[in-house]
Amino acid sequence: MAEEAAPRKKIILSGIQPTGVFTLGNYIGAIQNWERMQRDYRCAYFIADLHALTVRQEAGKLRAGTLSALAQLMACGIDPKKSLLFVQSHVPEHAEMSWLLSCHTQFGELSRMTQFKDKSAAHADNINAGLFTYPALMAADILLYQADYVPVGDDQRQHLELTRDIAVRMNGLYGNLFTLPEAYLPKQGARIRSLADPTKKMSKSDPNPNGAIYILDPPEVILKKVKRAVTDSEARVAYGEGKDGVNNLMTIYAAVTGRSMNEIEAEFAGHGYGDFKQAVGEAVAEYLRPVREKYAAYLNDRAYLEEVCKEGAAAASAVARRTLSKVKKKLGLLMK
């Protein structure tokens, strides 16, 4: 009797823009899941450099940021042998599919995108057409790979809904072209707050340089930021109401050491915040040490990064081309 075939692994796709460095909050809250997801899903990760062009970029910084983002992803555990890992602009099918989808996206739908309104307000001197049609390119990113799931934050949920609307519309007109993607809601890691204002989440756009710890910060910088973290006047390491700053530091310490809140309270009973902050800073620095070391090794091997880019582009194009060809035939375009 023939063995049953193993069920097809679902496809997950996620893209990051090549701007800035992941924060400790990003890493603990979400990115650590990405490495684990490679075991259970067919994963595709890409550097969204075309999306970055909706804001004016310095050419040299964009190229450096793209390589940095690639090295960060690999340092955080994304394995190009297990996942599709590529640079968006290296796969021309994204731009071509974006045009085909734009022709099936209504002006009114794009006009309702709240992110367009927000970014237009933030960049009033550069309200370009790409900023307006950005969701069609995002839909192309997703639909080209027939993604089942897309990890999205609240700011991208509307774009994912539009992607589904476009897919439903085109499936209705031309037959079964696209898989309908769903939002992927992984088990969240600890929610890390700003060190400067623990009522807000830790963010790489925090105007206060002491608010965020970045995964590439050297140990002395991490220690300095933690020592400056907001606490309270009680000087007692205990989790409770009205102790947002201490709660945040305890959450961080728990996430990087695996200790429970009760264990942390017992460990620092009778100690002031100075001893506690020293321990938190040292623990975070050690926790991030493997990421820093791997990142430095990848970034110093330019030839390897370029090889990853080349192989990733070829593998991604092979997948994307199948979907694009199917769509072009259905639309009546003459195939070469």
What is the greatest pairwise CA distance in the chain?
77
Residue 8 CA to chain centroid, in angstroms? 25
The number of CA neighbours under 13 Å toward the Cβ of 37 is 25
Catalytic residue among 10, 82, 201, 294: 201
Catalytic residue among 61, 82, 117, 119: 119
Q: What residues contact residue 214 under an 8 Å CB cut-off, 6+ apart?
A: 21, 22, 23, 24, 204
Catalytic residue among 10, 82, 204, 326: 204
Please give the domain boundaries of the chain with CATH numbers for all domains. Answer: 11-189+302-331 (3.40.50.620), 219-296 (1.10.240.10)
Q: Is residue 9 annotated as a catalytic residue, yes or no?
A: no
Task: Mean pLDDT check: name the lowest of 7-11, 116-120, 273-277.
Answer: 116-120
pLDDT tens digits, 138-193 = 999 999 999 999 988 766 788 899 999 999 999 999 999 999 999 987 666 678 99
CA distance 41 to 38: 5
- Strand order, beta sheet including 42-47: 84-87, 42-47, 11-16, 149-151, 182-184
Q: Is residue 201 annotated as a catalytic residue, yes or no?
A: yes
The pTM (predicted TM-score) of the whole model is 0.88
The number of CA neighbours under 13 Å toward the Cβ of 253 is 28
pLDDT tens digits, 224-277 = 999 999 999 888 999 988 899 999 999 999 999 999 999 999 999 999 999 999
Q: Is residue 204 annotated as a catalytic residue, yes or no?
A: yes
Q: What residues contact residue 296 under an 8 Å CB cut-off, 6+ apart?
A: none
